[in-house]
């Protein structure tokens, strides 16, 4: 900041050309970034040597030093004047797309804060100790469920994604005491899922649920319940963000497995 301030302070006691230079620099600070001494001289209408002398008079070794100082001064001012405008940025510009980043961050934070670390830990433990894992989802969460299945398989867990339909029930019925059933669900109300969950649980199968954060059948009947905090957005965007949060929880699980594995 010092540099630009200094200029303003000295403005009164400057010669004509010096003042022209100072004014130009203060007006067009960011232009300076890619001006050579000659260009600046031309722009202001003075000689190149005057530019250099001006720099030295202000106490810098030469023009490049002045340039840097001005630049720092300018950058510093920016930092201060835009102090807490909020979040670290998941966005560069302010395009509609980048605003999505903000929303996402918000949803993710909310989601993290509603899940008890113990539940996460328990979920990780359940996965680790399971023999076979069935991943079942409502249609809206199928993509997410399949993603989870992939990751589990990669880590050596014997996970199967339940495509729904006729197989769903028969698969679930083959689960045994040491196995795990993962229910991933938007609302947590889908009947067929709640059914197989209850059924499985009666036979000692552990049930892990990942649902929207509210009272819902699926999470109530699960041994371990994880939640997602939905955003307040219009339909389509909300779905997108919801999945994003689901994925984040899943990533946390996978991360937990990796850490525990070591």
Interface ranges with a second copy (CB under 8 A) = 33, 68, 71-72, 75, 79-80, 83-84, 87-93, 95-98, 100-101, 104-105, 108-109, 112-113, 117, 120-121, 124, 142-144, 146-147, 150-151, 236-237, 240, 243-244, 247-248, 251-252, 254-256, 258-259, 261
By C-beta, is 175 or 254 nearer to a second copy?
254
Beta bridge partners of 65: none
For 136-195, the three-class secondary structure string (H helix, E strand, C coil) is EECHHHHHHHHHHHHHHHHCCCEEEECCCCHHHHHHHHCCCCCCEEEEECCCCCCHHHHH
- Considering CB distances under 5 to 8 angstroms, the limit depending on partner class, which of a second copy, DNA, none binds residue 52? DNA
Tokens representing residue 62 in the block: 């030469």
Q: Which of 61, 93, 96, 202 binds DNA (CB under 7 A)?
A: 61
To the nearest whole angstrom, how small is the minimum distance from the Cβ of residue 204 to a second copy? 27
Angle between helices 16-27 and 37-44 (to 10 degrees): 110
R_g over Cα of the chain: 31
**Residues whose CB is less than 8 angstroms from the CB of residue 125 and which lie 6 or more positions away in sequence, other chains included:** 260
Residue pair 24/4 in contact by the 8 Å Cβ criterion:
no
To the nearest whole angstrom, how small is the minimum distance from the Cβ of residue 79 to a second copy? 6
By the rule CB under 7 A, 56 interacts with DNA = yes
What is the DSSP secondary-structure string of 27-69? HSGGGGGG--HHHHHHHHTS-HHHHHHHHHHTT-SSHHHHHHH
Q: Which of 3, 22, 55, 134 binds DNA (CB under 7 A)?
A: 55
225-254 exposure pattern, b = at least 16 Cβ within 10 A, e = fewer: bbbbbbbeeeeeeebbbbbbbbbbbbebbb
By C-beta, is 51 or 159 nearer to DNA?
51
221 secondary structure, DSSP code: T
Three-state DSSP class for residue 227: strand
By C-beta, is 42 or 109 nearer to a second copy?
109
- Considering CB distances under 5 to 8 angstroms, the limit depending on partner class, which of DNA, a second copy, none binds residue 37? DNA
By the rule CB under 7 A, 15 interacts with DNA = yes
> What does the alpha-carbon distance between residue 96 and residue 102 come to, in Å, rounded to a whole number?
11
Tokens representing residue 130 in the block: 């399971």
- Considering CB distances under 5 to 8 angstroms, the limit depending on partner class, which of a second copy, DNA, none binds residue 15? DNA
By C-beta, is 36 or 198 nearer to DNA?
36
To the nearest whole angstrom, how small is the minimum distance from the Cβ of residue 217 to a second copy? 25
By C-beta, is 136 or 221 nearer to a second copy?
136
To the nearest whole angstrom, how small is the minimum distance from the Cβ of residue 37 to DNA? 3
By C-beta, is 47 or 119 nearer to DNA?
47
Contacts with DNA, residue ranges (CB under 7 A): 15-18, 36-38, 46-50, 52-53, 55-56, 61-65, 67
């Amino acid at each position: 900041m010092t540099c630009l301030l200094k200029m303003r302070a000295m403005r009164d006691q400057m010669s004509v050309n010096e003042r022209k230079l100072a004014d130009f620099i203060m007006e067009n600070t960011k232009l300076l970034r890619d001006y050579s001494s000659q260009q600046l001289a031309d722009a202001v209408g003075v000689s190149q040597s005057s530019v250099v002398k001006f720099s030295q008079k202000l106490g810098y070794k030469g023009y490049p030093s002045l340039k840097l100082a001005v630049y720092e001064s300018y950058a510093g001012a920016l930092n201060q004047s835009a102090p807490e405008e909020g979040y670290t940025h998941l966005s560069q510009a302010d395009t509609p797309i980048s605003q999505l980043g903000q929303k996402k961050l918000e949803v993710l934070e909310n989601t993290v804060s509603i899940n008890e670390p113990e539940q996460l830990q328990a979920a990780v433990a359940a996965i680790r100790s399971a023999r076979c894992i069935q991943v079942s989802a409502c249609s809206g969460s199928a993509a997410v469920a399949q993603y989870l299945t992939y990751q589990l398989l990669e880590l050596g867990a014997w996970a199967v994604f339940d495509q729904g339909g006729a197989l769903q029930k028969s698969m679930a019925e083959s689960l045994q005491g040491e196995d795990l059933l993962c229910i991933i669900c938007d609302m947590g109300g889908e009947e067929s899922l709640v059914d197989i969950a209850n059924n499985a649980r009666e036979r000692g199968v552990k049930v892990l649920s990942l649902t929207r954060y509210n009272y819902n059948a699926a999470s109530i009947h699960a041994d371990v319940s994880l939640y997602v905090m939905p955003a307040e957005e219009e339909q389509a965007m909300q779905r997108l963000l919801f999945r994003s949060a689901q994925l984040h929880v899943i990533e946390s699980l996978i991360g937990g497995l990796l850490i525990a594995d070591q």
